[in-house]
Amino acid sequence: MKKSLLLLGLVAAIAAQAETVVIEAESFDDWGGWVNNTQFMDQMGSPYLLAHGLGKPVADARTKFVVAGGRYNVWVRTKNWTSFWHPDIGAGTFNLIINGKKLPNLLGCQGKGEWLWVKADDVTLKGGKNTLALHDCDGFDGRVDAICFTTNPQPTSILNGPRPPSVIAQPIPLPKFDLCVVGGGIAGICTAVSAARLGLSVALVHDRPILGGNNSSEVRVHLSSYQNLPPYPRLGDVLLEFGPRNGGNARDAANYEDERKLAIIKAERNIRLFLNEHVNEVKTNEMGRILSVRSINTKTGVATWFEAVNFVDCTGDGNLGFAAGADFRMGREAKGETNEPGAPEKADMITMGSSVQWNAGKAEGDAAFPVRPWMLKTFKEENCSPHLRGDWFWEAGLGRDQIAEGEYIRDYGLLVAYSNWAFVKNGYSKSAEFADKELKWVAYNAGRRESRRLMGDFILDQNHLRNRDVQPDGTCVATWTIDLHLPKTAEESKFEGEPFQANSLNEKIWPYPIPYRCFYSRNVPNLFMAGRDISVTHIALGTTRLMRTHGMMGEVVGMAASICKKHGCNPRDVYTTHLDELKELMTKGVGDGKKHPRQDYNVQQSLDPDIKKHHEESVKGRVE
């Protein structure tokens, strides 16, 4: 017993003297050709660097670090991402380079699809500054979360425990805002601008380096549906000011005009913009009211708390509402619950999927594209896609959990894009037509359509839309069809294996004014929502999920927030007590009154034969 105690004491003494340095990959001084992936932070715990080179190794990511000196174990948190589909060494391999010397162990090829710490090597480091680089081997999405240097002989507790911020810094002290908008997609931009123009101090908090969400150059989905229609034709004016001039999915980055989205936000003196900030924690009081939200900077790891009177969830996934305990749903409701003709007999977790779009064009140099063992062997002459663009219907994960399985879904989208292109380049009978073509872009941020829906005082469903059951608090109109996606069958796609392309079922509707009660939480008193996470059923989401409709929702929510400030009331009180004021604001609008480029691409005919005429009347004098 005494010997055991002595041994334990010796181990404790050694551990106390051990040195450990953990370097978050996103905090590197120079990312080189690697990119910062933030989409799955809530699932795997961190941003990470991704070697997204489309089959060509990317430039090394580099940084410096300081240690006391001595012999260190080196560990890397990484993932063998293709192991779900291929059992051996797959895509995404890389090496570490320390002080100019490449370590021999190949990384990114361990494990069975889980994130794990892998021992890279033992190295001797000098005291003081040392250099570290991530050396990509294949350009196929190798990933690194963090690197640990430790002299601790038992590092497991360190590796599996919570990690401190990679950069020690104090967050900027912030004032209390009238409104905190979380999510900088189309809905978030319009919410922030609307509220700011009505006199509110606004924090716009977004987890990516650029604004626009699915309409940004990162995802490249074009705007859809009509805006500027009765009963409130001025709803949509804000989006006219910054929406891209041209439509089209999976086009060149410039097509999405990210700079116009940034410009409209910077022009509003009442808005403070916070990019690269991921909100993942909420403080509430005993009544469930949100007091503040915490964001983590996706580059530095520094936490910032945002305090506000009211909050808006424009995250798409309902992340803010979920963290605040808001009532929500995912999947399809049962017919017995909603009496919707299109609902299944039993509720389930089936959702629409996520698109990983891509495009190709004339090569600037070597146009060769490799065939690798980890690529799918199921692409053949009859099922390949010999095109230069993968559009919205390259949709993965239909029926999977879009949040919990988000990284798997995105990775499968990457896998099928690479496997298809490899076959077209190397095995297709007409591959000569693609000899000078190369992949130009493949989205590493998947474009989600559906996940959580936050429940409000009103839940819009298929019957309301079909029966034109217009509510007294109707606001902006949904005009798109009830557009629900389902995977192509093996017979349709001639593809054996997990589906990666989708069909679309469409039911035309009359333009339907979405009730204001869909735009605030029924159980979190000061939470609004705008975007695809509003209070609707799975079926009704088919028409409300379009981004022009989201922009108009944001304008309405900004107006409602201004009424809350004026009267010191909650979002629900706008409906119960101040609805006429909201109607006045919606009638007037918050646009700048100037002419802007026409943006009426990608609209549909509805059951209203005069919808186009109504739109032309509404934008007369407002478009160039």
CATH number of the domain residue 290 falls in: 3.50.50.60
Burial class (CB in 10 A: 0-12, 13-18, 19+), 491: exposed
Confidence category of residue 166, pLDDT binned at 50, 70, 90: low
**What is the distance of C-alpha 308 from the center of its chain?**
24
The 8-class DSSP code of residue 42 comes to: H
pLDDT of 399 over the 60 cut: yes
Residues 6+ apart with CB under 8 A from 615: 226, 228, 229, 600, 603
Angle between helices 547-567 and 186-197 (to 10 degrees): 30
Residues 6+ apart with CB under 8 A from 593: none
Residues 6+ apart with CB under 8 A from 62: 28, 29, 30, 32, 131, 132, 133, 134
Report the pLDDT value the prediction gives residue 9, as an integer from 0 to 100: 35
- Kindly report the backbone phi and psi dihedral angles of residue 89, in degrees, each rounded to the nearest multiple of 5, phi listed first: -60, 130
The 8-class DSSP code of residue 460 comes to: B
Task: Give the number of other Cβ atoms within 10 Å of residue 446's Cβ.
Answer: 27
How distant, in Å, are the alpha carbons of 27, 133, 151, 174, 564 from that of 136?
17, 10, 26, 40, 52
The closest of 544, 533, 514 to 328, measured between CA atoms, is 533
- What domain range is 114 assigned to? 16-160
Amino acid identity of residue 520, one-letter, is Y
Task: Give the number of other Cβ atoms within 10 Å of residue 237's Cβ.
Answer: 25
d(CA 512, CA 508): 11
Report the pLDDT value the prediction gives residue 173, as an integer from 0 to 100: 87
**Gyration radius (Cα) of the chain, Å:** 26
d(CA 311, CA 289): 10
The answer on 185 and 134 residing in a single domain is: no
**Domain final position from 422, 448, 474:** 448
The verdict on residue 609 lying in a domain is: yes
The verdict on residue 390 lying in a domain is: yes
The answer on 606 and 575 residing in a single domain is: yes
The answer on 152 and 65 residing in a single domain is: yes
**Domain final position from 448, 477, 500:** 448
Report the pLDDT value the prediction gives residue 14, as an integer from 0 to 100: 35
Could you report the per-residue pLDDT of 44-101, keeping only the tens digit for each? 999 999 999 999 999 999 999 999 999 999 999 999 999 999 988 899 999 999 999 9
The residue-averaged pLDDT of 166-185 equals 86
The answer on 245 and 147 residing in a single domain is: no
pLDDT of 468 over the 60 cut: yes
d(CA 305, CA 291): 10
Determine which helix (DSSP H) or strand (DSSP E) holds 143, and give its type and residue range.
Answer: strand 140-150
Confidence category of residue 158, pLDDT binned at 50, 70, 90: confident
The verdict on residue 540 lying in a domain is: yes
The answer on 225 and 323 residing in a single domain is: yes
The answer on 289 and 143 residing in a single domain is: no
Q: Cβ(320)–Cβ(454) under 8 Å?
A: no
The closest of 530, 54, 581, 57 to 310, measured between CA atoms, is 530
Report the pLDDT value the prediction gives residue 10, as an integer from 0 to 100: 29
pLDDT of 15 over the 70 cut: no
How many CA within 13 A on the CB side of residue 88?
Answer: 4
Report the pLDDT value the prediction gives residue 235, as an integer from 0 to 100: 98
- Kindly report the backbone phi and psi dihedral angles of residue 5, in degrees, each rounded to the nearest multiple of 5, phi listed first: -65, -40
The answer on 266 and 203 residing in a single domain is: yes
d(CA 323, CA 325): 6
The answer on 243 and 138 residing in a single domain is: no
The answer on 278 and 196 residing in a single domain is: yes
**Domain final position from 396, 414, 448:** 448
pLDDT of 272 over the 80 cut: yes
The closest of 264, 196, 188 to 547, measured between CA atoms, is 188
- Kindly report the backbone phi and psi dihedral angles of residue 492, in degrees, each rounded to the nearest multiple of 5, phi listed first: -70, -45
Would you list the DSSP string of 248-276?
-SS--GGGG-HHHHHHHHHT-TTEEEE-S
Could you report the per-residue pLDDT of 513-551, keeping only the tens digit for each? 999 999 999 999 999 999 999 999 999 999 999 999 999
The answer on 50 and 185 residing in a single domain is: no
Residues 6+ apart with CB under 8 A from 466: 341, 509
The answer on 146 and 29 residing in a single domain is: yes
The residue-averaged pLDDT of 433-443 equals 97
Q: Cβ(527)–Cβ(326) under 8 Å?
A: yes
The 8-class DSSP code of residue 168 comes to: -
The verdict on residue 376 lying in a domain is: yes
Q: Cβ(66)–Cβ(126) under 8 Å?
A: no
The verdict on residue 467 lying in a domain is: no
d(CA 30, CA 49): 11
Confidence category of residue 1, pLDDT binned at 50, 70, 90: very low
pLDDT of 375 over the 90 cut: yes
The verdict on residue 313 lying in a domain is: yes
pLDDT of 17 over the 60 cut: no
Mean pLDDT of the chain: 94
Confidence category of residue 165, pLDDT binned at 50, 70, 90: low
Report the pLDDT value the prediction gives residue 172, as an integer from 0 to 100: 77
d(CA 145, CA 50): 9
Amino acid identity of residue 472, one-letter, is P
CATH code at position 81: 2.60.120.260
pLDDT of 189 over the 90 cut: yes
Report the pLDDT value the prediction gives residue 548, as an integer from 0 to 100: 98
The closest of 275, 272, 274, 278 to 293, measured between CA atoms, is 278
The verdict on residue 429 lying in a domain is: yes
Q: What is the SS3 assignment for 466-527?
A: HHCCCCCCEEEEECCCEEEEEECCHHHHCCCCCCCEEEEEEECCCCEEEEHHHHECCCCCCE
Stated length of the chain: 624
Could you report the per-residue pLDDT of 582-609, keeping only the tens digit for each? 999 999 999 999 999 999 999 998 999 9
The verdict on residue 384 lying in a domain is: yes
pLDDT of 365 over the 60 cut: yes
pTM over 0.85? The answer is: yes
Q: What is the largest CA-CA distance in the chain?
A: 91
Tokens of 280: 């993942």
Report the pLDDT value the prediction gives residue 7, as an integer from 0 to 100: 32
The answer on 307 and 187 residing in a single domain is: yes
Report the pLDDT value the prediction gives residue 171, as an integer from 0 to 100: 72
* Number of separate domains in the chain: 3
